[in-house]
Structure 1
Amino acid sequence: MPDTISPALRDGPRARPPVVDPPAPRRPVWIRPVLFPVAVAVAIGAIFISVYLSAFHAPGARDLPVAVVGTSAEAAAVAERLPENAPDTFRVQALPDRETARTAVEHGEVFAAYVPGPGAPELFHAGAHGPSVSALVTGSFGEAARADGERPTPVDLVPASDQDTRGLVVFYTTFGLVLAGYLFGIMTFQLGPGLTARRRMVSLAAFGGAGGLAVASVVSAFGALPAPFLGVAGLVALVAMAVGAFTMLLVRSLGVLGSSAAAVLFMTVGNASSGGSLPAEFLPGWLEPFSAGLPVGVGVRAVNGLAYFHGDGVLSGVAVLVGWTAAGLGGLLLVERLRRRARREA
């Protein structure tokens, strides 16, 4: 008997193909590598110009420490005769005698000291603070003396080197290895991605020592800084190691963003607040604290103190720079340990 059963009934219901949702539109793979660098670079540029315009578009001193030889009442009387267009420019204190005033200026405790006398008054100041500071104090105290019909005699107790006509040698001496330390912190991972943390520390020490000796040699060749060779080499080496160590930590922790963060921290904020072109008292209130905390400003003050002001700022600078180096290396070791643990657990 022929098979009269329909093939559809004999074989049973056919399985329907699964319903597949249409593929979601894929984001082009070029968006991140094209737009992310644009965003980061524009942000860094905007931060750079904002910081520098804030610091230097109209710099003016605030609470610049100066002194008047005499009683507190006599110091207050001189302060009242200072120019009225800058009421917060100076912080005036009284000193008992001429020799105390001289010592205070020579050690960087005050920027100027006004010494009244039976004859023409004197104005002690330090040209090593830079021409802008000298012009400010001589002009302001000259105006105060003219109110009494007198004309003070400026006495530069700490002149800058004859080879440093613009007062920038200390800044360039220090900042050269800040830039180099930043580049070192990036290159050590680019050229040696597989290096152990211990070998990176050895490399950092070699970089700091060689860099300090190189900078001190160049400065000595120009004869532009009256400071001991080994002292300059040691301070510059500490600055280089502090910046290099912390840059390594940021790059290892954050990758590309870490290098950008280091650029903003050391190259932008650090440079602007360094006190290399103007003392920290000329910075805006929000920026001034960075001068005493970041390696650049600390290094500038230490090198300047070593050269001109009987070591003012050297010990505190060494302590801060060692702290930055220890924090960078300690953080790097911690990051490496956590990543090794994560790999073992995976």
Structure 2
Amino acid sequence: MGSVIGALGATFVSLVFIASFMGALHAPGPRAVPIAVVGTQAQASAIGDSLGKVRSGGYDVSSYPTAQAARDAILDRKVDAALLPAPPGAVLAVATAAGSAVTNATVADVSTVAQASGTQLALQNIRPLPANDPQGISQVFFVIALLAPSLVFANMLVTRFGRAMHPVGQLLSILAYSVIVAAVAVAVTDPGIGALTGAPWGLFGIGTLLAFAAAVTAAAAARWARGLGYLVVFLLFIPVGVASSGTTLGPHMITQWYADVGKALPAGAALPAVQNTVYFSGNDTATPLLILSAWAVAGAMALALTAYFRPPALGAGRHEPAHPTADPGATAPQAQA
């Protein structure tokens, strides 16, 4: 019976992975990709209507007064591309560092509109990905390499080598682990491999916050709800969180409501934080960092509260004597006549 239950549990976990990743990534395409157009609002609306005929709901077009303002909007992470006037044609400014998949799809659809209107279109990549990481995979694996081991560490801490520790001690252990694992990850990623370069301290801060938020949330869930609590956090953070982040595709290339869910989870918050820190000078990282901080604070509070509302050691039973000690002053009950 135990083996059957285990097989059913493993099958359920597998189904969550399959449904989440296949559901999110099986039919990628632009969804509400923000694009800037230099011109009036009427001109932006007209281009938006033309793009809507190519791909319904694929783009959210807004007007900007100058080409410089539109380019700045890309670097500030307000838009992913900008259509600039360049008589007799136009220039499409993009940033593959924002995501090669969304950039390629945008270029293809804008080119279709330009060809239909007889407009000559040139491309300008103002923030490319490095040659050694042309698909932007490094940032995805940096996040996963911190997220997954942190969940494992949390479970081992509260069920194995740290099960007898006070919750405050477990909290301090998680903090120390987070600093160490983030430092190692940055050392390997930046000077070691040269995959994500130029912002080591920013990466270290994001990595520490991500590792701590994941580990402390998983530890608190395991202390409050044991294996079931840990399983829920694991499934929420890994198959759901990673898939709904869009991974290398980006959030604008998957179903929009699922991408919105992902932005509220650690993986979906950490990915844009890493991306914008490394490639866009730290612009538009406030919201992702606040989300990670919220998970970290909530998890820390939940773990600390187990000191007052849960047994101090997970799975430890009460240590009561096997046989009650007889009271030497007690008298034996008198037999009734």
Q: TM-score range by the shorter chain?
A: 0.7 to 0.9
The separation in 2 between residues aligned to 1:288 and 1:323, in whole angstroms, is 19
The separation in 1 between residues aligned to 2:222 and 2:301, in whole angstroms, is 14
1:203 matched to 2:203? The reply is no
1:319 matched to 2:290? The reply is yes
Find the residue that maps to 2:257 and give its secondary structure: coil
Where do residues 84-99 of structure 1 align in structure 2 (5 Å cutoff)? 84-99=53-68
Consecutive unaligned residues in structure 2, runs of 5 or more: 321-337
2:114 aligned residue: 145
Find the residue that maps to 2:117 and give its secondary structure: coil
The separation in 2 between residues aligned to 1:112 and 1:273, in whole angstroms, is 22
Contact 1:128 1:308 in 2 (8 A): yes
Where do residues 163-242 of structure 1 align in structure 2 (5 Å cutoff)? 163-189=132-158, 190-220=160-190, 221-242=192-213
2:329 aligned residue: none
The separation in 2 between residues aligned to 1:99 and 1:286, in whole angstroms, is 32
2:323 aligned residue: none
Greater alpha carbon shift after TM alignment, 95-104 vs 278-287: 278-287
Greater alpha carbon shift after TM alignment, 302-311 vs 76-85: 76-85
Residue by residue, what CA displacement relative to the aligned partner does 1:163-196 show, whole Å, maximum 9, x if unpaired? 2122111111112110111111111022221111
The separation in 2 between residues aligned to 1:58 and 1:218, in whole angstroms, is 34
Deviation at 1:84?
2.4
1:108 aligned residue: 77
Contact 2:244 2:262 in 1 (8 A): yes
Find the residue that maps to 1:93 and give its secondary structure: strand
Root-mean-square deviation over aligned CA pairs: 1.9
What is the one-letter code of the residue matched to 1:192?
A: G
Contact 1:81 1:147 in 2 (8 A): no
Residue by residue, what CA displacement relative to the aligned partner does 1:32-72 show, whole Å, maximum 9, x if unpaired? x3333223211111111111121011122211111111011
The separation in 1 between residues aligned to 2:148 and 2:304, in whole angstroms, is 23
The separation in 1 between residues aligned to 2:247 and 2:32, in whole angstroms, is 18
Structure label with greater radius of gyration: 1
The separation in 1 between residues aligned to 2:28 and 2:300, in whole angstroms, is 37
Deviation at 1:340?
4.7
Residue by residue, what CA displacement relative to the aligned partner does 1:83-125 show, whole Å, maximum 9, x if unpaired? 6241110011111111101101111110111112323310000
The separation in 1 between residues aligned to 2:111 and 2:55, in whole angstroms, is 15
Find the residue that maps to 1:312 and give its secondary structure: coil
1:275 aligned residue: 246
TM-score between both structures, scaled by the size of structure 2: 0.88
Greater alpha carbon shift after TM alignment, 51-60 vs 296-305: 51-60
Deviation at 1:197?
0.9
The separation in 2 between residues aligned to 1:129 and 1:339, in whole angstroms, is 45
The separation in 2 between residues aligned to 1:340 and 1:41, in whole angstroms, is 29
Residue by residue, what CA displacement relative to the aligned partner does 1:107-146 show, whole Å, maximum 9, x if unpaired? 1110111112323310000011222112111111111111
2:327 aligned residue: none
- Using a 3 Å threshold, how does the CA distance of structure 1 residues 267 and 298 change in structure 2: closer, same or farther? same
The separation in 2 between residues aligned to 1:69 and 1:313, in whole angstroms, is 22
Greater alpha carbon shift after TM alignment, 332-341 vs 38-47: 332-341
Residue by residue, what CA displacement relative to the aligned partner does 1:203-248 show, whole Å, maximum 9, x if unpaired? 1111110111111111112222233111101101100000000000
1:291 matched to 2:281? The reply is no
The separation in 1 between residues aligned to 2:54 and 2:121, in whole angstroms, is 21
1:258 matched to 2:249? The reply is no
Contact 2:27 2:254 in 1 (8 A): no
Percent identical: 27
1:329 matched to 2:300? The reply is yes
Contact 1:62 1:88 in 2 (8 A): yes
What is the one-letter code of the residue matched to 1:239?
A: L
Consecutive unaligned residues in structure 1, runs of 5 or more: 1-30
1:17 aligned residue: none
What is the one-letter code of the residue matched to 2:222?
A: V
The separation in 2 between residues aligned to 1:212 and 1:180, in whole angstroms, is 11
1:76 aligned residue: 45
